[in-house]
Structure 1
Amino acid sequence: MARRSTRPPHEPIRATSMWRVDQVFLSRRGLRVEVTCSLVNDRGGLRNLSVTAPTEDPARAVRHAARFIAGQGNVSGARQARVRWAREQAVTEQDALIRDHDLEDEFLDEFEETLAAVRDQQR
């Protein structure tokens, strides 16, 4: 009589996983802005990618980061990504909760343009 396994059936191992940008955090590093993007995948995975932009202008920094992230090749989207300043940059606890909708638009526009260019090159 064969024993029944209580383990769930094996799921195939994915060589790659598609990620999406969930949140974007900005922090000042001297005369530059560091942008950290929090990515999630459909399996519940989480990872962060950081890039230091060669500028102190937050709008240019998020555009720089969007090009970097979209160029990774396995990041599929950034819809509804929230952009805010990192906790250490906030003056009050309320500041840490405030989203910057203008920077969100800058990030999403640049991300979508770069992603479209990457997809065109792959065709």
Structure 2
Amino acid sequence: MWRVDQVFLARSGVRTEVTASLVNDRGGLRNLSVVAPTEDPAEAVRHAARFVAGKGNVSSARNARVRWTREQAASEQDQLVRDFTLEDEFLDAFEETLQEIRDRMR
């Protein structure tokens, strides 16, 4: 099973590209990208969380870090800054989607 480790946001015109970096217990790494049809970062991470959780083989997003990509950072320090509000948005939407999937499977 995979888990979400980091989430990167990048503005693309009036849309937001969201890339989720996934890891597994065997050291595997893969990325899932989705373009959210919004400029609003909170809605974009919710959109991405629903997309990632719907893949079916991603079990957790706990402790996932959300950051803007290097191109969006105004300074070197900005690259290190985590957005805790967006992390909460991502985790909540991810958990809600997983719960909906589990409910449908019953």
**Secondary structure of 2:39's partner?**
coil
Give the strand-richer structure, 1 or 2.
2
Deviations 1:38-89 (A, max 9, x none): 0001110000000000000000000000000000000000000000000111
Q: Under a length normalisation based on structure 1, what TM-score does the superposition of the two structures give? A: 0.85
User: Unpaired segments of 5 or more residues in structure 1?
Assistant: 1-17
Alignment of 1:1-123 (within 5 A): 18-123=1-106
Larger radius of gyration: 1
Q: Give the Cα separation in 1 of the matches to 2:54 and 2:22.
A: 14
What is the CA RMSD across the aligned residues, in angstroms? 0.5
Please identify runs of 4+ aligned residues in structure 1 that moved more than 4 A.
none
Highest RCO, 1 vs 2 (Cα 8 Å, sep ≥ 6) = 2
Give the helix-richer structure, 1 or 2.
2
Q: Under a length normalisation based on structure 2, what TM-score does the superposition of the two structures give? A: 0.98
Work out the number of aligned pairs and report it.
Answer: 106
